[in-house]
Chains A and B, each alone.
Chain A
Amino acid sequence: MTDAMPAGERKPLAPPVDETGIIGWGRKNLFSSWGNGITTIVLIVGVVWILNWFLEWALFTANFTASTGSECRGGGACWALIREKFRYIFFGSFPYEQHWRPLFAVITMLAMLVLSADRRMWNWRLIVIWGVGSFVTFLLMFGQIHIPLSLILFVALVGGGIGLALRSALATPSERMAYYALIGIGAVGLVLRILGILPKWSIAIAPLSYVETSLWGGLPVTLILATYGLAFAFPYGILLALGRRSNLPLIKGLCVGFIELIRGVPLISLLIMASVMLPLFLPSGTTIDKFLRAQVAVILFAGAYIAEVIRGGLQSLPKGQFEAADAMGLNYAQKTLLIILPQALRVVIPPLINTFIGFFKDTSLVLIIGIFDFLNTANQALVDPNWAGFPGEVYLFAAFVYFIFCYSMSRYSKYLEVELNKGTRR
């Protein structure tokens, strides 16, 4: 071969034979030296031994069919307990013959989450998916929904306002008229309602028997607390993060104060305040549902943490991005929504999902104020004296269910990172 040969005509050399294939890979990575080889063998033996012990306990000597705890004793795992109790673990004290309702509520919520995980849905479809999904979920759980007139008017007002703010640049005159009409109807209606001219009236959708939140339990409770906790905490956290970087001292001060205050106390203390102390301050006669109070506490708490994660993303953007947007004449809202947030959120996907996973599990703390989330119902299943003495099986099962959700989120985080950075990497 001469040096004068152009690079393109050189034949590529094949790699050394002993570095390819399974044997080559193993020789290179597992048995490259004596010490390395011994470590590999010891670890393999250890893993096989533990796996063997676990499978023996969990499968081969396990009891799947016993009808009482005493029949179970002596052998391996007592999965019969899970078989006996799984409906309670999953659905808590929800009326037994109505268990199809929380089941379908869980399926609806999962469908809603899976659909909104798809990037192609990130537009007006998301609003439809969450609107329909939430309505079906809560209709199934409550059985009856009363929508008061004032709420409808309020939604019209806010919806019109948001539509006008976001679409002002792109809307056709007729679309704009529709937003003005919504705002007008909402504002005038609310004033009339407050003055007492419009009657207290509500739409009742009541196809099923009413089940109050104190009877809810199990997986739907965990899913509702986590899903709606994070769905509200996310935009709220974004606002807090933006507020913390505001030039207006008052807004900045409020946001910093809120974040530091919330981060400075344990979630448990916030939950206890919401469940025990808040009612003391309310005028007598008014009650706010305990479940709702816990939900709000979770939202406030998660919001503060999410805000700090997002702030990290905002700070990672080069100053030039803000300047370019300014120089082009974009206003604050346009700059934030079109330039800053899309980039900042991309950067913080891993820590953001990490926070989400943390909060999914932290919802289990609501057991402290007597709400029966999934971990709490699993806990309660142990109380039955007929089945005493098998905590390992129950907690392992609960851990397995939590793991499925958390691992899915982790995989989704990976997918999102790749998907959102498509094309933008060099």
Chain B
Amino acid sequence: MAATARDLSKVESVIQLKGVNKWFGQFHVLTDINLDVKEGEKIVICGPSGSGKSTLIRCINRLEEHQRGDIVVHGVTLSNDVKNIDAIRREVGMVFQSFNLFPHLTILDNLTLAPIWVKKMPKKEAEEIAMSLLTRVRIPEQALKYPGQLSGGQQQRVAIARALCMRPKIMLFDEPTSALDPEMVKEVLDVMIELAREGMTMLCVTHEMGFARAVADRVIFMDRGEIVEQNEPEEFFANPKNDRTKLFLGQILHNH
């Protein structure tokens, strides 16, 4: 069930992938990926490890370079042009599996770094935004600590706040809860669900099927570098069409 029920076909596309191909050496990681993401859409991408799902979202902000096909984000086509890459990275926030906070900076400095240096925002304004975001992820009291002093769940919430500090239009999540102890998964998912309800466009690589059911407009299943199947979550979980999807769902749902 989508949190914001509306007709997505009338909404503008913010991300378009057309015939995207990528190889790591001889290994074909992404094969002819076509994907259209509408504004405000929440997409959950799942699939077995090595299926290319992380690589796919990392191509969108050029952490990985695709070799064939087009990626268009907010009307800007990704190319080797540094200006285009920078323009896209300003619009796209990213949250990593291993948080990747900067351990030598305080939480507050982690958040204000990009607004100050990339957006040239005055320090005071950046700090106000940072504090309001930390309040939103419910850890304002940790602002002056260092990342190493926080729990994994707290660090990941900081990482989300850090990405939001740039006021992105799109958020990419690369297995945001996979590195967390089980009791901390919920606090991170709650923040993500809140964000989804506020209408953020989200692409999320995750195996948290509860999260997919709660907020996703579409679930995409990838295997061996291809998009094998995609559907609304209800339909996706109830009636998987492809055999590979069935096998995968059987494996992961069995554990829950």
| Interface of A toward B, CB cutoff 8 Å | 169-170, 318, 320-321, 323-324, 326-331, 334, 338-339, 342-343, 346, 423-426
> In the complex, what residue of chain B is closest to A424 when comparing beta carbons?
B146
B114 touches A330 (CB 8 A): yes
Most buried by B among A323, A328, A338, A425: A328
B102 touches A425 (CB 8 A): no
**Would you give the shortest CB distance from A175 to chain B, in whole angstroms?**
14
**Would you give the shortest CB distance from A248 to chain B, in whole angstroms?**
14
Q: Give the chain B neighbours of A326 by CB distance below 8 A.
A: 61-63, 89
Most buried by A among B86, B94, B103: B103
Given contacts A331-B86, A423-B148, 6 further A-B contacts (CB under 8 A): A323-B96, A323-B100, A324-B100, A330-B114, A346-B104, A423-B149
Which of B86, B148, B162, B163 is A425 in contact with, Cβ under 8 Å?
A: B148
Pick the 4 closest A-B CB pairs, nearest first: A324-B100, A320-B100, A329-B89, A328-B114
Determine the distance from Cα of A320 to Cα of B118 in the docked complex, in whole angstroms: 19
Which of B61, B102, B117, B145 is A423 in contact with, Cβ under 8 Å?
A: B145
Which of B90, B98, B149 is A320 in contact with, Cβ under 8 Å?
A: B98
> In the complex, what residue of chain B is closest to A426 when comparing beta carbons?
B148
Determine the distance from Cα of A169 to Cα of B126 in the docked complex, in whole angstroms: 13
What is the 8 Å Cβ interface bit string for chain B, positions 82-98, against chain A (1 contact, 0 not)? Answer: 00001001101110101
**Would you give the shortest CB distance from A239 to chain B, in whole angstroms?**
21
* Cβ of B222 under 8 Å from chain A: no
**Would you give the shortest CB distance from B245 to chain A, in whole angstroms?**
30
Which of B103, B120, B146, B166 is A328 in contact with, Cβ under 8 Å?
A: B166
B166 touches A324 (CB 8 A): no
B90 touches A329 (CB 8 A): yes
B100 touches A321 (CB 8 A): yes
What is the 8 Å Cβ interface bit string for chain B, positions 108-143, against chain A (1 contact, 0 not)? Answer: 000001101110100000000000000000000000
A328 touches B149 (CB 8 A): no
Determine the distance from Cα of A339 to Cα of B162 in the docked complex, in whole angstroms: 15
**Would you give the shortest CB distance from A418 to chain B, in whole angstroms?**
15
Q: Give the chain B neighbours of A321 by CB distance below 8 A.
A: 100, 102
Once A169-B117, A338-B113 are accepted as A-B contacts, the answer to whether A327 and B146 lie under 8 Å apart by CB is no
Q: List 11 A-B contacts (CB under 8 A).
A: A320-B96, A320-B99, A323-B96, A323-B100, A324-B96, A324-B102, A328-B89, A329-B89, A330-B117, A331-B86, A423-B149
Q: Give the chain A neighbours of B147 by CB distance below 8 A.
A: 424
Q: Give the chain A neighbours of B145 by CB distance below 8 A.
A: 423
Determine the distance from Cα of A321 to Cα of B116 in the docked complex, in whole angstroms: 18
Once A169-B120, A320-B98, A423-B149 are accepted as A-B contacts, the answer to whether A328 and B104 lie under 8 Å apart by CB is no
- B:64-97 near A, CB below 8 Å: 86, 89-90, 92-94, 96
Once A329-B166, A330-B118 are accepted as A-B contacts, the answer to whether A343 and B100 lie under 8 Å apart by CB is no
Q: Give the chain B neighbours of A329 by CB distance below 8 A.
A: 86, 89-90, 114, 118, 166
B interface residues, how many (CB within 8 angstroms)? 32
> In the complex, what residue of chain A is closest to B109 when comparing beta carbons?
A338
Q: Give the chain A neighbours of B118 by CB distance below 8 A.
A: 328-330, 334
Determine the distance from Cα of A342 to Cα of B105 in the docked complex, in whole angstroms: 10
Determine the distance from Cα of A330 to Cα of B90 in the docked complex, in whole angstroms: 9
What is the 8 Å Cβ interface bit string for chain B, positions 141-185, against chain A (1 contact, 0 not)? Answer: 000011111000000000000110010000000000000000000
Determine the distance from Cα of A338 to Cα of B109 in the docked complex, in whole angstroms: 11
Determine the distance from Cα of A220 to Cα of B248 in the docked complex, in whole angstroms: 74
**Would you give the shortest CB distance from A61 to chain B, in whole angstroms?**
56
A323 touches B103 (CB 8 A): no
**Would you give the shortest CB distance from B96 to chain A, in whole angstroms?**
6
**Would you give the shortest CB distance from A346 to chain B, in whole angstroms?**
7
> In the complex, what residue of chain A is closest to B91 when comparing beta carbons?
A329
Determine the distance from Cα of A331 to Cα of B114 in the docked complex, in whole angstroms: 10
> In the complex, what residue of chain B is closest to A326 when comparing beta carbons?
B63
Which of A320, A338, A346, A425 is B117 in contact with, Cβ under 8 Å?
A: A338
**Would you give the shortest CB distance from A313 to chain B, in whole angstroms?**
12
Q: Give the chain A neighbours of B163 by CB distance below 8 A.
A: 327-328
Determine the distance from Cα of A62 to Cα of B247 in the docked complex, in whole angstroms: 91
Q: Give the chain A neighbours of B149 by CB distance below 8 A.
A: 423, 426
Determine the distance from Cα of A35 to Cα of B220 in the docked complex, in whole angstroms: 71
**Would you give the shortest CB distance from B49 to chain A, in whole angstroms?**
18
Which of A320, A327, A331, A424 is B104 in contact with, Cβ under 8 Å?
A: A424
Q: Give the chain B neighbours of A323 by CB distance below 8 A.
A: 63, 96, 100
Q: Give the chain B neighbours of A342 by CB distance below 8 A.
A: 104
A423 touches B100 (CB 8 A): no
**Would you give the shortest CB distance from B15 to chain A, in whole angstroms?**
15
Determine the distance from Cα of A342 to Cα of B113 in the docked complex, in whole angstroms: 14
Q: Give the chain B neighbours of A331 by CB distance below 8 A.
A: 86
Determine the distance from Cα of A426 to Cα of B62 in the docked complex, in whole angstroms: 32
> In the complex, what residue of chain B is closest to A329 when comparing beta carbons?
B89
**Would you give the shortest CB distance from B214 to chain A, in whole angstroms?**
26
A423 touches B89 (CB 8 A): no
Determine the distance from Cα of A338 to Cα of B113 in the docked complex, in whole angstroms: 9
Determine the distance from Cα of A328 to Cα of B109 in the docked complex, in whole angstroms: 13
Q: Give the chain B neighbours of A320 by CB distance below 8 A.
A: 96, 98-100
Q: Give the chain A neighbours of B106 by CB distance below 8 A.
A: 423
**Would you give the shortest CB distance from B30 to chain A, in whole angstroms?**
18
Once A320-B98, A323-B63 are accepted as A-B contacts, the answer to whether A424 and B89 lie under 8 Å apart by CB is no
Most buried by A among B100, B101, B113, B166: B100
Which of A170, A330, A343 is B103 in contact with, Cβ under 8 Å?
A: A343
